[in-house]
Amino acid sequence: MALHDSSYDCDVLVVGASFAGAACALAAARAGLRVTVLERKTDPGERLRTTGIVVKEAAEQTWLSRAPSDCLHRVERVRLYSPRLQSLALNAPGYYFLTTDTPRLMRWLADELRRNGVDLRLGASFTQAQRDGDGWRVEGRSQGLLPIQCRTRSLVGADGAKSRVAERTGLGRVREFLYGIEYEFAGAQLPEPDALHCFVSKRYAPGYIGWVAQNPTGVQAGLALRHDPERARVPDIDGFLARVGALVGLPSERPDSTRAGLIPCSGPVFPLARDGALLTGDAAGIVSPVTAGGIHSAWAHGWTLGQALAAQVRSGGPAPERVAIDSAPRFRTKRALRWAFDRFQFDWPFDLLLHSAPLRWAAEQVYFHKRGDSQAQVLRRVD
């Protein structure tokens, strides 16, 4: 196959310049493909829908390891609170999370795309796609409502939980969600800044947890719960913070800003890829149904997809659609745990068993996946 087929305006058109889209675009562009990214925000650091906590594996084994160090803050412990606010400190030697100055991280990622030859179009929304021969004819709109048209060999939907690419191309759509809301307190300092404070409470966070964390520029405090589209319930974050704020040393001022969004929680969608249209990240439902962490899986899947698209064009490698499906985590155990948690969540076992060995073991599995230094994996750095 010719590397650059001139009947296409680009080899890959990616919709969305967040973690999944950036990873896919970077991997494909670095392997020599012509990559265009449409991102509807004019500033990638605005209107964020993530806390932005990055797990150790993503921090060390992916391109994110190159992020400017002053937009990262290391958190080595989890303090888990029972509904009655008794707490348990958890850690795994050698393991950590990074909280981030997420607006800056997203802007840095956009710069990385440009530096690596990606045609990044900010303020450009994807609107429509139609199959056109072996490729796709894609339509969009720029901020000034100017039409965008592009003929691409492959179309990648990295456009989040409510993917328009999935809708327009007839791919699978995410049906089950958590809903998360978070306040940001700029400049605030927690007395215990190296801990991620997590709160189990069926009253405030049915189906998930509440959290408070120090980041490089302030404090984030949030709450997520199971989203029911029939009886959409707004998380009572003010009530939650009135209950836990003083305990963790949160300032009593009003927050400076709010982040909120839907989090897929039912595993990968079906079909995830077909006929040169492929989904990745939240659009593909690739988020842990238990921890609701999606940054690392979005990055890993997006990157694999970008490499597969390049391998196919350059050397006739395996069909990227197959790679997209096979490399998507299935989350079988985590989906079973999600099912059980949705039906049998009670506060009393957490109050009763907080300091017991089985609960500590289970909590360490969830937060650290048994991965301290003792089980350190061989690092696959991407440089």
Instruction: Work out how close the CB of 2 gets to ligand FAD at its nearest, in angstroms, rounded to a whole number.
Output: 29
CA distance 114 to 116: 5
Q: From the list 59, 263, 277, 300, which residue makes contact with ligand FAD (rule: CB under 6 A)? A: 263
Binding mask 264-283 for ligand FAD (x = CB under 6 A): -----------------xxx
Binding mask 228-247 for ligand FAD (x = CB under 6 A): --------------------
Token pair of 261 as six digits: 């969004």
Question: Is the Cβ of residue 18 or residue 61 nearer to ligand FAD in the bound state?
Answer: 18
Instruction: Work out how close the CB of 183 gets to ligand FAD at its nearest, in angstroms, rounded to a whole number.
Output: 11
Instruction: Work out how close the CB of 21 gets to ligand FAD at its nearest, in angstroms, rounded to a whole number.
Output: 5
Instruction: Work out how close the CB of 345 gets to ligand FAD at its nearest, in angstroms, rounded to a whole number.
Output: 19
Question: Of the ranges 73-81, 147-155, 256-264, 310-318, which one interacts with ligand FAD (CB under 6 A)?
Answer: 256-264
Distances, alpha carbon 107 to alpha carbons 102, 112, 141, 291, in Å: 9, 9, 21, 26
Q: From the list 14, 78, 158, 323, which residue makes contact with ligand FAD (rule: CB under 6 A)? A: 158
CA distance 105 to 311: 29
Q: From the list 172, 180, 218, 289, which residue makes contact with ligand FAD (rule: CB under 6 A)? A: 180
Question: Is the Cβ of residue 47 or residue 203 nearer to ligand FAD in the bound state?
Answer: 47
In a 13 Å sphere around the CA of 234, the CA atoms on its Cβ side amount to 4
Burial class of residue 246 (count of CB atoms within 10 Å of its CB; 0-12, 13-18, 19+): exposed
Question: Of the ranges 37-45, 81-89, 145-153, 313-321, which one interacts with ligand FAD (CB under 6 A)?
Answer: 37-45
Rg of the chain over Cα atoms, rounded to whole angstroms, equals 21
Residue 188 found at the interface with ligand FAD (CB under 6 A):
no
Tokens 């456009």 correspond to: 159
Residue 338 found at the interface with ligand FAD (CB under 6 A):
no
Burial class of residue 383 (count of CB atoms within 10 Å of its CB; 0-12, 13-18, 19+): exposed
Q: From the list 160, 207, 268, 289, which residue makes contact with ligand FAD (rule: CB under 6 A)? A: 160
Residue 74 found at the interface with ligand FAD (CB under 6 A):
no
Residue 112 found at the interface with ligand FAD (CB under 6 A):
no
Residue 59: its H or E element: helix 56-61
C-beta of residue 278 within 8 angstroms of C-beta of residue 286:
no
Question: Is the Cβ of residue 49 or residue 151 nearer to ligand FAD in the bound state?
Answer: 49
Token pair of 123 as six digits: 């303020």
Question: Is the Cβ of residue 219 or residue 287 nearer to ligand FAD in the bound state?
Answer: 287
Question: Is the Cβ of residue 34 or residue 296 nearer to ligand FAD in the bound state?
Answer: 296
Question: Is the Cβ of residue 16 or residue 271 nearer to ligand FAD in the bound state?
Answer: 16
Q: What order do you get walking across the sheet with 54-55 strand by strand?
A: 54-55, 97-100, 72-75
CA distance 373 to 246: 34
Residue 184 found at the interface with ligand FAD (CB under 6 A):
no
CA distance 237 to 195: 20
Question: Is the Cβ of residue 224 or residue 244 nearer to ligand FAD in the bound state?
Answer: 224
Instruction: Work out how close the CB of 227 gets to ligand FAD at its nearest, in angstroms, rounded to a whole number.
Output: 10
Cα separation of the two ends of the chain: 27
Instruction: Work out how close the CB of 196 gets to ligand FAD at its nearest, in angstroms, rounded to a whole number.
Output: 9
Instruction: Work out how close the CB of 350 gets to ligand FAD at its nearest, in angstroms, rounded to a whole number.
Output: 22
| Interstrand relation of 10-15 and 35-39 (parallel, antiparallel or unpaired) | parallel
Number of residues that bind ligand FAD (CB under 6 A): 37
Residue 168 found at the interface with ligand FAD (CB under 6 A):
no
- The b-or-e profile of 330-359 (16+ CB within 10 A means b, else e) is ebeebbebbeebeeebeeeebeeebeeeeb
Question: Is the Cβ of residue 125 or residue 154 nearer to ligand FAD in the bound state?
Answer: 125
Distances, alpha carbon 221 to alpha carbons 59, 89, 286, 364, in Å: 22, 18, 24, 22
The two counts, helices (H) then strands (E), for the chain are 10, 18
Return residues touching ligand FAD (CB under 6 A).
15-21, 38-41, 49-53, 125-126, 158-160, 164, 180, 182, 222, 259, 261, 263, 281-283, 287, 292-295, 298
